[in-house]
């Protein structure tokens, strides 16, 4: 297994099995493409600074919430639950739910 150069790639986004199951169950085929666009948007923010991408969960320490911007009408209103592992350089998605 090849290790990544943390100087070139400080963070990597990854999905947990729980997130993958929730993504397919809650978005379904109708919103699948739009859901992928939301994931790309989140990844863009999270790879720069995951703490600026969302807010800390109010009751669960270590978890963060990213909400789809309401100004983007073409995208479904979603909240992504994620964690930040600074030591390993991972941003892990744990759950997703719809706001509508």
Here the CATH number for the domain that contains residue 54 is 3.30.2310.20
Higher pLDDT, 78 or 2: 78
Query: What CA–CA distance (Å, rounded) separates 2 from 24?
Result: 30
**What is the mean predicted confidence (pLDDT) over 9-22?**
87
Domain total of the chain: 1
Q: In which domain, by residue range, is 88 found?
A: 12-98
Beginning with the edge strand found earlier in the chain, give each strand of the sheet holding 12-15 in spatial order. Answer: 12-15, 90-98, 78-85, 63-67, 55-56
pLDDT at 4: 55
Strand partners, 56: 64
22 lies in a domain?
A: yes
Domain membership flag for residue 4 = no
Structural domain includes residue 24: yes
The pLDDT of residue 61? 92
Residue 3 located in a structural domain: no
Query: What's the length of the chain?
Result: 100
């Amino acid at each position: 297994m090849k290790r990544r150069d943390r100087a070139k790639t400080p963070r990597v986004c990854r999905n947990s099995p729980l997130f993958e199951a929730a993504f397919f169950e809650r978005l379904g085929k109708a919103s699948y493409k739009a859901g992928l666009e939301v994931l790309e948007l989140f990844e863009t923010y999270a790879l720069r600074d995951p703490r600026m991408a969302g807010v800390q969960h109010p009751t669960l320490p270590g978890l963060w919430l990213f909400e789809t911007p309401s100004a983007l009408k073409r995208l479904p209103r979603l909240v992504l639950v994620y964690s930040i592992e600074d030591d390993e350089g991972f941003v892990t998605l744990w759950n997703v739910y719809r706001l509508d």
